[in-house]
Amino acid sequence: QVHLVESGGDLVQAGGSLRLSCAASGIIFSINDMGWYRQAPGKQRELVATITRSGNTNYADSVKGRFTIARGNARTTVYLQMNSLKQEDTAVYYCNARTIGSDYWGKGTLVTVSS
């Protein structure tokens, strides 16, 4: 089992920045990819960014150039640096960890971007 806890969500003005963190515990050696997903009110959960064990990253087109995903040195933490935030970035952001055969999710952290 892998347990994920997100933090860093907040209310921020458009154009501002936030940094989300996700700490993993449990069978962490089994984690391959980690990532961030988000779900806005009335919408389906969507990919924001992912990072592989070797550090390869992938971003949704809507956040490219504004968001940066990174893993901590021990690979038990994943960060999402969000710059130039827009109102449409408002959502609950979920951390994801992927092992062989399993997906784990945190409970989410709320990001609200005001005009």
Relative to beta strand 102-105, strand 18-26 is unpaired
**b/e map 11-47, b = 16+ CB within 10 Å:** ebeeeeebebebbbeeebeebebbbbbbeeeeeeeee
pLDDT for 76 equals 87
Residue 74 has pLDDT above 80, yes or no: no
Strand partners, 43: none
Residue 19 has pLDDT above 80, yes or no: yes
Q: How much is the average pLDDT of 3-16?
A: 98
Per-residue pLDDT reduced to its tens digit, 91-115: 999 999 999 989 999 999 999 999 9
